[in-house]
Amino acid sequence: MKRKMLSDWEAPYSQSLMKIIETQSKVTLAHWAVDYAERVILPLWSKFNSDDLRPQNALNAAREWLSGAIKLPQAKAAILECHSAAREAEGNPVAQASARTIGQCASTIHSARHCIGLAFYGALAVAYDRLGTDAPWEQIEQCAAEECGRMEAALRAVAVENEPNPAKIAWKC
């Protein structure tokens, strides 16, 4: 059985990313997660499910909420549809991890803690896509760690220095 997510909270790539996440506001984190998911993860979903727009709709809804165009219940409905798409993608680890990633990234508008799903699901989606799901776990994890490094660089690029309102995150790990 293929792993559905990375789960090593103590790994250097996890700890490094979490430390930066803790310095940023929920809004900054949501923009970063949604932008990264759309640029890197959504194309992985679309490779297998180009006609299923639920993940794109979730990202759009998150952006609309961030801009004040819609209320949270409307956004949450689209996000829940994305989570349904992930459940329906059982048997396709790349597509399933992609939809889970996107759902978590969009959910950052509700709770900043969800942005870590970008790393834990998204890096695995990228690794499975690049290496195949039958590659040895050590190779998968190395590829995922490298992707987490790119995620961290993307967050650093948009991070607000001395953020006055950092998210208060209880990692529960």
Alpha carbons 55 and 78: distance in angstroms, whole number: 8
Contact criterion met (CB below 8 Å) for 10 and 142: no
Amino acid at 85: A
Output the tens digit of pLDDT for each of the chain's 173 residues: 577 778 788 888 889 999 999 999 999 999 999 999 999 999 999 999 999 999 999 999 999 999 999 999 999 999 999 999 999 999 999 999 999 999 999 999 999 999 999 999 999 999 999 999 999 999 999 999 999 999 999 999 999 999 999 999 988 75
Q: With a threshold of 0.85, does the pTM exceed it?
A: yes
Write down the domain spans for the chain: 12-158
Nearest to 45 by CA among 113, 100, 104: 100
Q: How many CB atoms lie within 10 A of CB 87?
A: 10
Mapped onto helix, strand or coil, the DSSP state of residue 66 is: helix
